[in-house]
Amino acid sequence: MNLSQLRQGQTAIVVRVGGDGPFRRRLLEMGFLRGTEIYVEKYAPLKDPIELILKGYHVSLRVDEAARVQVTTHTLPSPLKGEGPGGGENVRGMGT
Amino acid sequence: MPKKSITIALAGNPNAGKSTIFNNLTGTRQKVGNWPGVTVEKKEGHLTSNGYNLTIVDLPGTYSLTAYSIEEIVARNFVLDEKPDVVVDIIDSSNLERNLYLATQLRELDTKVIFVLNMADLAKERGVKIDGDKLSELLDVPVVFTVGNRNEGTRQLLETVISVAESDTELPRTRRVYYGKDIEKAIAELSEFIKEKTGGKLPYNIRWIAVKLLEDDKIVKERILKAVNPQGEAILREAELKRQRLRDFFDEEPEIVMTDHRYGFIAGIVKEVIKTVSIERVDVSRQIDQVLTNRLLGIPIFVFFIWAMFQLTFSLGAYPMSWIDSAVGLMGRAAAGLLAEGILRDLIVDGVIAGVGSVIVFLPNILILFFCIALFEDTGYMARAAFMMDRVMHLIGLHGKSFIPLLMGFGCNAPAIMATRTLESERDRVLTILINPLMSCSARLPVYVLMAGTFFGARAGNAIFSIYALGIVLAIAVGRLFRSTILRGKTAPFVMELPPYRAPMFKGLLIHMWDRSKIFLKKMGGVILIGSVVVWFLSSFPQQVSFSRDYESEIASIGLHYGDRISSARGDLREQLIREKAQAVSALQAQKAKEKVENSYMGRMGKVLAPVFAPIGMDWRGSVAVLSGFVAKEIVVSTMGVLHAVGAESGKKTEALKQALRKAGMTPLSAYAMMAFVLIYVPCLATVGAIRRETNSWRWAFFSIGYSTVLAWLVAFIIYQGGKVVGL
């Protein structure tokens, strides 16, 4: 399912952000990463855009943009191929 | 001893409190301008501290340094090219994770960085405690705490900046983002390749270049090609090869995987430095939004705020407006008294003072309007307004934020156009500017009132309302047309943060308001001054007009004619005679003034252009009036008054003008066509000046003049000829 199918007050987890390059990149930079929890705070009075809460801040997206974000209401299986977004161990294994 | 200079760049996410810190540091000693070549606002401030001359440059607020938006490019280029001594990154403590994204990117550049954890008090209230020492240790960066709106920590920030700028320790090259085994390998290989090819000649950090090339950063690619050739080509080819390999491996664009890793790295840091004390507290900001963006109440409240803003602007503004008006009048009379009669006096009194005066009276309106806008922005309400109005604006392919500037246009287009600075996308900004004059500003109202009042009687209100509606419909049509032709492109994604509501700082509001108003004032000296003088020249030259009658001697003979009778008459008769004399004289003077304007260059132009205006139902007087309206649209009314030879001193001037208009053969249809024409044609001088400034190009200013005039003629033509066909 995608983000625009959620109703007010629902929570979901990001699976994948689709769409073209710059849009996708921008969303990722704003924290729409695989595994991130997103809460649907409300729809605007005219039903578009949507107000979301993620990573402790509020952000708004148009409905057709939100439709490009695939989400699930279940917990996610394994993260990305490769090392994936890591935890604390990354901090010590820093590059030069 | 000469003082040492230090340049500091302030970076940070939008809404992180950057401008508050900037104001705290520099006070009112700031210079607002544009970054060269673009219309992104550049703020610079100076101060001296501990014997150092500090220059503080406020970089545009960005979430990243990816170089997708113009703001990001500007911010990054400044750090790369101007090499500030220190970059201070303002971090919103209650939003640490997302703010660290930009911070880690800054750490990858070869520059000294200081992290400022701003608004840690708010974070603490929300149950988040940040270990600054730990953050400093983990990233090897000095960390300072501040509370911007209470001016706390400014002193310590300054001291840290100076000591960091003065220290000659090596830049920390470790503790940067680790991108994972495969990408790190590609980075290392590409770095080695670049080193080999260029012999370390490149003026940037090589690891950073490698990272950016793997991310397919267009600007870095251009820079490489410019800096080293032909090796540059080889480097780009190698980078593309590596990108291809990574893409195959991850089944994903490398830059996406790298973004993921950056956040992974950040997640690790956040885990170590944040202590979440879970206290269930009421989120005040969310509570406020339950009302202000409520499904039912949100829009009515928004309409009320806008209504209040206009009331404040135009009712409260009316008082200082009339003071300025009389001050300008006083100045004009004083100048007239001081200077000898002649061209110079006319130039100064009727050209410079009257022209600039007619625009400067808007200053109170502009100050109040910008104060309200600053209030909306600084509290965070502006983002909510955009949130609620985006659906409507999306119809024209615009961002919700365009709503406010368009709405302000109903007051005055010049400040409305300046308010488009809040829009991030350049294309949105230009489009909003181009359709802004179609929002009928208050200066056009007197024209409508005159025309509709004369020809529509009881239906005048409806006629005027329909003109406003016509403007809005045209704005939508023109907006869509431009969007699909000259300003084509995707609508900017509506990824907009809704920051928590904050109590604004009064000082910040004043600085904000003053910055904008200063721009308006500066224009007075330039475009408007020159424009007023040109229009004055056209309407008052040639000076020597061969009048069809000898007005002076006729006036003199009237004086003689009445002189004896008045001195011999008594009581009521005497007063009646005096009135008669005054009327006769003023009728002659009005005739003379009319002939003078008729024979001026402006009048001749009007007559030459009359055939152009005939198909839309305007006679030469209408065309001259419309030409003079270029200075300010309300002047159309006074020019009509002069051309229809309505005496200046009669109290019933408007009534007389109405009669004259009817006598001159105007019909309701031609009056309506003229109203439509006045709505659409050439924006006034002040607006053209604002367009030129805000688009940073004369091209758009001339385009605006051209398209609006053509459109005005077409619409008036359709109204007039169409109306005639259906028998109106």
Segment B284-306, tens digit of pLDDT: 889 999 999 999 999 999 989 98
Could you say which DSSP state residue B296 is in? T
Q: How far, rounded to the nearest angstrom, does the alpha carbon of residue B658 sit from its chain's CA centroid? A: 38
Contact A83/B at CB under 8 A: yes
User: Where would I find the beta strands (DSSP E) of B232-317?
Assistant: 274-276
Give the torsion through C-alpha atoms of A41, A43, A45, A47, to 10 deg: 180
User: Predicted confidence band at A91 (pLDDT cuts at 50, 70, 90)?
Assistant: very low
A37, A58, A69: which to substitute to probe chain B, counting the most B Cβ within 10 Å? A58
State residue B149's pLDDT score.
83
Query: Which residues of chain B neighbour A56 with C-beta distances below 8 Å?
Result: 94-95, 97, 126
Residue B295: list chain A partners with CB under 8 A.
42-43, 45
Which of B180-189, B260-269, B510-519, B610-619 has the weakest average pLDDT?
B510-519
d(CA B261, CA A94) in angstroms, rounded, equals 12
- Identify the closest residue of chain A to B301 by CA–CA distance: A45
Task: Return d(Cα B10, Cα B81) in angstroms, integer.
Answer: 15
Instruction: Enumerate the residues of chain B whose CB falls inside 8 A of the CB of residue A81.
Output: 249-251
**Structural tokens at position B468:** 């406003």
d(CA B220, CA B214): 11
Task: Please count the other Cβ atoms lying within 10 Å of the Cβ belonging to residue B126.
Answer: 18
More confident site: B336 or B288: B288
| Residue B549 burial (C-beta neighbours within 10 Å; 0-12, 13-18, 19+) | exposed
Question: Phi first, then psi: what are they for B39, rounded to 5°?
Answer: -100, 30
Indicate whether A86 pLDDT > 50.
no
A63 touches chain B (CB under 8 A): no
Q: Is A70 on the interface with B (CB under 8 A)?
A: no
B390 interaction partners in chain A (CB closer than 8 Å): 44, 48-49, 60, 62
Among A44-48, A83-87, B633-637, which is the least confidently predicted range? A83-87
A31 touches chain B (CB under 8 A): yes
| Chain A positions in Cβ-Cβ contact with residue B66 (cut-off 8 Å) | 25, 29
Mean per-residue pLDDT of chain B: 85
Test B498 with A81 for CB contact under 8 angstroms: no
Predicted confidence band of residue B490 (pLDDT cuts 50, 70, 90): low
The more confidently predicted of residues B202 and A80 is: B202
Q: What is the pLDDT of residue B19?
A: 87
Nearest to B97 among A31, A47, A48 (CB): A31
Mean pLDDT for B660-677 is 89
CA distance A65 to chain B (A): 7
Residue A25 sits in a domain whose CATH number is 2.30.30.90
Does residue A96 belong to any structural domain of this protein?
A: no
pLDDT score at B717: 95
**What's residue B28's pLDDT?**
72
Residue A76: what pLDDT? Answer: 64
- pLDDT tier at B279, thresholds 50, 70, 90: low
Residue spans of alpha helices (H) in B485-550? 506-523, 529-540
Which of B27, B34, B97, B15 shows the shortest CA–CA distance to B56? B27
d(Cα B39, Cα B309) in Å, to the nearest integer? 27
Taking 60 as the threshold, does the pLDDT of residue A4 lie above it?
yes
- Tell me: the pLDDT tens digits for A22-37? 788 889 999 999 899 9
Angle at the Cα of B567 from the Cα atoms of B565 and B570, rounded to 5 degrees? 90
- If 0-12 CB within 10 Å is exposed, 13-18 middle and 19+ buried, where does residue B142 land? buried
> Among partner residues B176, B250, B259, which is closest to A82 by beta-carbon distance?
B250
Q: What pLDDT does residue B184 have? A: 94
Mean pLDDT of A40-61: 92
pLDDT of B431 above 90: yes
Least CB-CB distance to A88: which of B95, B272, B392? B272
pLDDT of residue B650: 46
Average pLDDT over residues B212-219: 92
A59 lies within 8 A of chain B by CB: yes
Residues of A in contact with B495 (CB under 8 A): 26-27, 30, 59-61, 65
- Spatial CA neighbour of B254 closest among B176, B175, B174, B190: B190
Domain count across chain A: 1
Q: What is the mean pLDDT of residues A59-85?
A: 75
How remote is the C-alpha of B287 from its chain's centroid? 32
Q: Is the confidence metric ipTM above 0.85 for this complex?
A: no
Q: What number does CATH give the domain B4-166?
A: 3.40.50.300
pLDDT band, residue B528 (cuts 50/70/90) = low
Report which of B139, B120, B138 is spatially closest to residue B130, judged by C-alpha positions.
B120
pLDDT band at B728 (very low <50, low <70, confident <90, very high): confident
Tokens read off for B110: 């070869």
Decide if B259 and A88 are in contact by the 8 Å CB cutoff.
no
Helix (H) / strand (E) containing B438: none
Quick: pLDDT tens for B620-668.
888 888 888 887 787 787 777 777 766 544 445 667 778 888 888 888 9
Residue A41: the pLDDT is 94
Question: What's the pLDDT at B39?
Answer: 64
Residue tagged 């309409």 (tokens): B303
Q: Is residue B405 predicted with pLDDT exceeding 80? A: yes
Helix (H) or strand (E) run with residue B48 in it = strand B41-49
Per-residue confidence (pLDDT) for residue B603, from 0 to 100: 81
Q: Which amino acid is at B10?
A: L
Residue A16 lies in domain: 3-79
Is A22 within a domain? Answer: yes
Cβ partners under 8 Å of residue B649, min gap 6: B582, B586
pLDDT at A85: 44
Cα atoms in the Cβ-side hemisphere of radius 13 Å centred on B536 = 21
pTM of the full structure: 0.78
**Min Cα separation A18/chain B (Å):** 11
Q: Give the start-to-end residue ranges of the domains of chain B.
A: 4-166, 181-276, 298-440+464-498, 508-725
Q: pLDDT category, A90, cuts 50, 70, 90?
A: very low
Give yes or no for residue A94 having a pLDDT over 60.
no
Nearest to A62 by CA among A77, A78, A79, A44: A44
| Within a domain: A86 | no
Per-residue pLDDT band for A78 (boundaries 50, 70, 90) equals low
Angle formed at CA B421 by CA B420 and CA B425, multiple of 5 degrees:
85
Given a cut of 60, is residue B616 above it in pLDDT?
yes
Using a CB-CB cut-off of 8 Å, the residues of chain A touching B284 are: none
Residue B141 has pLDDT above 80, yes or no: yes
The answer to whether A29 contacts chain B (CB < 8 Å) is yes
Tell me if A72 is assigned to some domain: yes
From the list B260, B296, B493, the residue facing A85 with the nearest CB is B260
A21 touches chain B (CB under 8 A): yes
The reply to whether residue A25 touches residue B259, judged by beta carbons under 8 angstroms, is yes
Per-residue pLDDT at B501 exceeds 70: yes
Nearest to residue B361, comparing CAs of B414, B416, B306? B414
Contact between A52 and B283 (Cβ < 8 Å): no
Of A22, A34, A85, the CB nearest to B261: A85
User: Is 3.90.1150.10 the CATH classification of the domain at B181-276?
Assistant: no
Is A88 domain-assigned? no
Q: How many CB pairs under 8 A join A and B?
A: 175
Q: pLDDT digits over B81-138, tens only?
A: 999 999 999 999 988 999 999 999 998 888 899 999 998 888 888 788 899 999 999 9
The set of residues, in sequence order, having a beta carbon less than 8 Å from that of B306 and lying 6+ positions away, is B407
Record the tokens describing residue A48, joined without a space: 């578009």
Residues in chain B: 728
Q: B182 to chain A: which residues are within 8 Å by CB?
A: 82
CA nearest B272 in A: which residue?
A88
Which amino acid makes up residue B434? Answer: L
**Percent of chain B beyond pLDDT 90?**
33
